[in-house]
């Protein structure tokens, strides 16, 4: 006898001028009923499905993310195919990356919350001369992950740095 395991991920991002874009991925897996006898195996299957769903949603949202923080048009972004390839490479690297004492976000860890991502987006708009491409390069050099892949701890550190930059303090060392 088989059981069905159903997982889903939803994510919404803020866009300029009070807009937003969302992504959703739902995955249904059939597994042998005996998987329930091994909790570790069951949990691993569920976690793998969630990670795949998260990756799919993040890739879809790359189409909508503004590169310069001012407008959401294709001229202001890198090509979606290039972004997907970079995301996949970063995802593969995440699974092999050590913690680096900065709260490194390896494949099994959580990513920053939607509220943290929205706050970062608002700060990017507020910091003069800052855009998404520059911020992603900064995050990749500091944590080995772009802004959409930061752990909650990394996002919190970034928010602190962006707030300092907005206030005219030391802020980011870009």
pLDDT digits (tens, 9 = 90+) for 36-74: 898 888 888 899 888 889 988 888 888 777 655 443 433
Q: Considering only CA atoms, which of 82, 76, 90, 83 is closest in space to residue 61?
A: 83
Cα 171 from Cα 127, distance rounded (Å): 10
Q: How far is CA 75 from CA 64, 67, 72, 79, 80, in A?
A: 12, 9, 9, 9, 11
Cα 55 from Cα 9, distance rounded (Å): 10
**Cβ atoms < 10 Å from Cβ of 127:** 23
3 or 167: whose pLDDT is higher? 3
Mean pLDDT for 6-16 is: 89
Q: Considering only CA atoms, which of 131, 132, 150 is closest in space to residue 142?
A: 150
pLDDT at 169 over 70: no
Q: Give 82-131 pLDDT, tens digit per residue.
A: 555 555 555 455 444 434 434 444 444 678 888 888 888 888 888 888 88
171 falls in which pLDDT band (50, 70, 90)?
low
1 or 94: whose pLDDT is higher? 1
Q: Considering only CA atoms, which of 132, 120, 124, 113 is closest in space to residue 12?
A: 113
Q: Supply 94's token pair.
A: 């995440």
35 falls in which pLDDT band (50, 70, 90)?
confident
The pTM (predicted TM-score) of the whole model is 0.40
Asked if residue 134 lies in contact with residue 172, where contact means CB atoms within 8 angstroms, the answer is no
**Cβ atoms < 10 Å from Cβ of 150:** 26
pLDDT at 164 over 80: yes
Q: So what's the pLDDT on residue 26?
A: 93
6 falls in which pLDDT band (50, 70, 90)?
very high
Give the number of residues written for the chain: 174
């Amino acid at each position: 006898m088989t059981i069905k395991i159903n997982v889903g991920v939803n994510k919404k991002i803020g866009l300029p001028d009070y807009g937003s874009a969302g992504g959703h991925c739902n995955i249904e897996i059939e597994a042998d009923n005996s998987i329930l006898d091994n909790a570790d195996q069951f949990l691993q299957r569920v976690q793998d499905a969630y990670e795949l769903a998260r990756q799919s949603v993040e890739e879809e949202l790359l189409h909508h993310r503004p590169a310069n923080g001012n407008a959401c048009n294709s001229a202001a972004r890198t090509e979606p195919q290039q972004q997907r390839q970079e995301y996949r490479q970063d995802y593969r690297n995440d699974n092999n990356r050590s913690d680096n004492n900065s709260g490194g976000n390896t494949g099994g860890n959580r990513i920053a919350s939607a509220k943290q991502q929205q706050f970062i987006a608002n700060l990017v708009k507020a910091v003069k001369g800052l855009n998404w491409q520059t911020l992603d390069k900064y995050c990749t050099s500091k944590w080995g992950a772009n802004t959409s892949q930061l752990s909650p701890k990394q996002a919190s550190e970034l928010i602190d740095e962006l707030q300092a930059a907005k206030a005219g303090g030391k802020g980011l060392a870009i």
